[in-house]
């Protein structure tokens, strides 16, 4: 955890010839956030200490360090980090940040940025899961757990898959797993509504 960035890559705080520096890009991603800009961060580390995932040692860079890397222009290291994809959106960092930065929102922004650029750490389940989830809802208006679980099952090995199947079977016997996906009634209207927001091309 928190390994020093590789020496071969350099930080870029100055903007490239045409366009924005990385820190400006991230600043733009947060333009609508109610929190303060990350330039106000004083690197106190409250976010990292309060984050249950970072303090458990599961993130390669802590939230504090991610902010430092962004401000120093280490774009490659930030895009390669698992930090934001391992954020569970518990918002403890956000409510405790003494500078009033909405750190959980920064994590969301970084997730969207890496999905948009299709540049995220290899092997992460998060991006696949999120995209599967969104597609499910665009198709039916509601979520359907069995489809979501497949994102997990195909990524892990056989023992984990069997364990998962065992839990799923037990839950099914208790009537807690839906056999068929549910759809909302006005699905056509719903799909037309979505098309105003994102062009879906041909539906389906």
Partner 1 sequence: MKTYAYFPGCSLEKMAHSYHLSAMETARALGVELQELDDWNCCGATAYFHVDELLAYTLSARNLAMAEKEKLNLVAPCSGCYKNMFFARAHLKQDPDLAEHINVALAEDNLQFSGNATVQHLMEVFVHDVGLEAVKARITRPLNGLRVAPYYGCQILRPRKDHEDVEQPRFFENLVGALGAVPVEYPLKLRCCGGALIITNREAALSLVRNLLDSAVKARATVIATACPLCQVNLECYQKQVNKEFGTEYHVPVMYFTQLMGLALGIPPSRLGIGSELVAVMPAIMSAQQKEPAVAGP
Site map for partner 1, 149-178, x if CB under 8 A? x-xx---x---x--x---x--xx--xxxxx
Could you say which of 45, 52, 98, 100 contacts partner 1 (CB under 8 A)?
Answer: 52
> Which candidate, 166, 26, 185, 176, places its Cα nearest to that of 109?
26
Query: What span, in angstroms and rounded, lies between the C-alpha atoms of 118 and 37?
Result: 25
Sign of the torsion angle spanned by Cα atoms 157, 159, 161, 164: negative
Contact with partner 1 (CB under 8 A) among 23, 77, 85, 106: 85
Report if residue 123 touches partner 1, rule: CB under 8 A.
no
Q: Which two tokens stand for residue 47?
A: 């976010």
Q: Say whether 21 sits in a helix, a strand or coil.
A: coil
Closest CA to 94 of 23, 46, 31, 43: 46
Residues near partner 1 (CB under 8 A) are: 32, 52-53, 56, 58, 85-86, 88-92, 94-95, 102, 104, 108, 111-112, 115, 124-127, 129-131, 133-134, 137, 141-145, 148-149, 151-152, 156, 160, 163, 167, 170-171, 174-178, 182, 184-186, 189-190, 192-194, 196-198
């Amino acid at each position: 955890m928190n390994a020093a960035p590789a020496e071969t890559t350099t930080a870029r705080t100055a903007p490239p010839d045409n366009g924005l520096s990385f820190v400006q890009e991230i600043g733009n991603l947060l333009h609508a956030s109610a929190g303060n800009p990350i330039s106000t961060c004083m690197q106190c580390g409250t976010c990292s200490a309060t984050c249950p995932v970072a303090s458990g040692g599961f993130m390669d860079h802590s939230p504090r360090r991610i902010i430092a890397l962004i401000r120093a222009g280490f774009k490659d290291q930030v895009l390669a980090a698992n930090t934001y994809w391992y954020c569970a959106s518990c918002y403890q960092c956000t409510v405790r940040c003494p500078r009033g930065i909405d750190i959980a929102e920064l994590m969301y922004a970084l997730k969207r940025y890496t999905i948009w650029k299709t540049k995220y750490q290899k092997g992460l389940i998060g991006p696949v899961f999120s995209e599967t989830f969104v597609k499910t809802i665009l198709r039916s208006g509601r979520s359907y757990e069995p489809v979501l679980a497949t994102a997990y099952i195909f990524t892990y090995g056989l023992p984990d898959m069997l364990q998962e199947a065992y839990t799923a079977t037990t839950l099914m016997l208790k009537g807690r797993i839906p056999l068929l996906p549910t759809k909302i009634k006005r699905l056509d209207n719903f799909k037309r509504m979505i098309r105003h927001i994102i062009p879906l091309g041909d539906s389906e």
